[in-house]
Amino acid sequence: MAQPSQASDNGLMWAMLLDRQGGGSRIGWDGLTAWRPEQGLLWAHFDISEPGPERWFEEKSGLEPQIAAALLAEDTRPRSAPSRNGLLVILRGVNLNPGAEPDDMVSVRVWLERDRIFSVRRRQLRVSSEIRAAVEAGEGPVSPGDFLCMLVERLVDRIGESVDELDEHIDELEEAGEAQGIPELRAQLSDLRRQTAHLRRFLAPQRDALDRLVRQPDPVLAEADNLSIREQADRVQRFLEDLDLIRERGMVAQEEFLSRIAYQQNERIYVLSVVAAIFLPLTFLTGLMGMNVGGLPGADTHYGFTAVTLLMVGLAVAMAWYFKRRHWL
């Protein structure tokens, strides 16, 4: 079997005829246009960042206008929408492209009928390439419902990996509380909470979309497909709960760091206050003895300076002893 190219053919990443036994063969634009249901299960994957697919969807795909518009939309949220002729599913996957943040989730739109599958992207998503590789190895989907289950399972697996990484990161931040500087930890915690919020923003509607598929089964999906999707919906719900826990742990850790900063500041202010209290009477005494007026005691003796110095040292020791006894020092 010929190895499909990663490059798009005017927006068509690949089109394949699936043999419903796990394998398939590749066709191009001409084969896609000439396809008939009796030829086999069709799967076409499009990159709509290029102009070719838009015209094809609107003029030659045979889809209802609202379905074509949903597949070509600039921005989407996860949802599932049964239609008279098939099933529209829009999901989000973790962005694993080089230099991208995982929480910048990539949209994948899928249209499922009994005899054809259209998947659409604007940015690269590895899951589609993995399914294509499975088809090439003879281990691909055998039905539209099986394709959706395979897609959802791989998307959820990547989400689970990202949630696990966030959980490990919050563990490291909690353990590094003493070793790292507070400002650095606060910056990392803020970034962690931002990633958590972004992931949760799309996971909640994704869970709802999968729940709707389970509650309102479509004829395209077999009973086994519904069970598989229900399991993935439960996993997404667990990931949402994990994200909520990570967010709460981040808030607690941030409050702890703020309390630690306040404690350190109070401790330093306390030390300064004690030192100031000890030196206050000494300052008064030096100010009093430094007046240029007659009659100051010890001014006419060689032992005056020594006597005043010993008096000040004794007074400082006495005050330090008093503070220590009162547990102020």
pLDDT in tens, 109-152: 999 999 999 999 888 888 999 999 999 999 999 999 999 999 99
Place 256 in a pLDDT band, splitting at 50, 70 and 90. confident
The pLDDT value given to residue 100: 58
122, HSE (Cβ side, Cα atoms, 13 Å): 14
Q: Kindly indicate the confidence band of residue 3, based on its pLDDT and cuts at 50, 70 and 90.
A: very low
Distance (Å, rounded) from C-alpha 114 to C-alpha 107? Answer: 23
Task: Give the model's pLDDT for residue 147.
Answer: 95
pLDDT of residue 300: 73
Would the pLDDT of 5 be above 70?
no
Please say whether the beta carbons of 112 and 147 come within 8 A.
yes
The answer to whether the beta carbons of residues 77 and 109 sit under 8 Å apart is: no
322: its two tokens: 């008093």
Nearest to 140, CA basis, from 110, 172, 117, 166: 117
Question: Architecture of 12-259 per CATH?
Answer: 2-Layer Sandwich (3.30)
Mean pLDDT, the chain, integer: 84
> What is residue 185's predicted lDDT score, i.e. its pLDDT?
77
Residue 220, pLDDT above cutoff 70: yes
* Tokens at 75, concatenated: 């921005």
How much of the chain exceeds pLDDT 70, in percent?
91
What is the predicted pLDDT for the residue at 218?
79
Q: Average of pLDDT values for 16-41?
A: 90
| Ordered DSSP codes for 240-297 | HHHHHHHHHHHHHHHHHHHHHHHHHHHHHHHHHHHHHHHHHHHHHHHHHHT---TT-T
Kindly list the domain boundaries of the chain, sorted by start residue. 12-259, 266-325
Phi, psi of 47 (to 5 degrees): -110, 105
Confidence tier at 2 by pLDDT (50, 70, 90): very low
Task: Report in angstroms the alpha-carbon separations of 159 from 196, 204, 305.
Answer: 12, 12, 78
pLDDT higher than threshold 50 for residue 4: no
The CA distance from 130 to 154, in Å, is: 9
Q: What mean pLDDT comes out for the span 192-220?
A: 86
* pLDDT given at position 98: 60
CATH 1.20.58 fits 266-325, yes or no: yes
pTM: 0.75
Give CA–CA dist 329/63, Å, rounded: 81
Residues 6+ apart with CB under 8 A from 276: none
In the predicted structure, residue 70 carries a pLDDT above the cut 70: yes
Range from 28-32, 259-263, 306-310 that averages highest in pLDDT: 28-32
Share of the chain above pLDDT 90, in %: 32
Q: Model confidence at 177, in pLDDT bands (50, 70, 90)? A: low
Flag whether pLDDT at 296 surpasses 80.
no
How large is the angle between the packed helices 223-289 and 304-325, nearest 10 degrees? 150
Distance CA 154, CA 138 (A): 18
pLDDT of residue 1: 35
Distances (CA, A) of 165 to 48, 114, 308: 31, 38, 67
pLDDT for residue 287: 79
Q: Which residue has the tokens 């394709």?
A: 147
